[in-house]
Amino acid sequence: MIDLIALLYLSSAADSLTEGDLNDILQSSRTNNRQNGITGVLCSGGGHFIQVLEGPQREVLKSYLCILDDRRHKDCQLIGITPLRNRVFKDWAMGHVDVAPERMLERRKSLIDCLYDQHASNGPELIQIMQSLIQGSTR
């Protein structure tokens, strides 16, 4: 079994999602992730999300299954899972990046393109995509 993995997915916010809901997501993610050894980042903008989770394989996959059941978003698409030697977001229980809506659409398109490029959706290319997500302001 692989010890450390990174998982990248995208989704769209539920129509009823509020700023308070987003803050709740971030707070509960930070608490749960610290307990489960998970780090990562959530990018949000224009009614869309891109998220990276990294940590022990079992914990990341369990967390992702819970995320799939969360009604605060929809249309979840798994972009890729890759083994990691070192965490990209090691200091973030759950970082947050606000992304301008037009930039978010560009990022989503490039990630969806990765779904059709098997080489880009795994390994070093996926890690580069993950690192590019943090270019922006965090909180």
Query: Tens of pLDDT along 20-53?
Result: 999 999 999 999 999 999 999 999 999 999 999 9
Q: Are strands 4-13 and 73-83 parallel, antiparallel or unpaired?
A: antiparallel
How far apart (Å, rounded) are the C-alpha atoms in residues 120 and 58? 23
Element holding 11 (H helix, E strand): strand 4-13
Q: How far is CA 26 from CA 36, 79, 91, 139, in A?
A: 15, 21, 15, 10
pLDDT by residue (tens digit) across 44-94?
999 999 999 999 999 999 999 999 999 999 999 998 898 999 998 998 999
Give the SS3 label for residue 38. coil
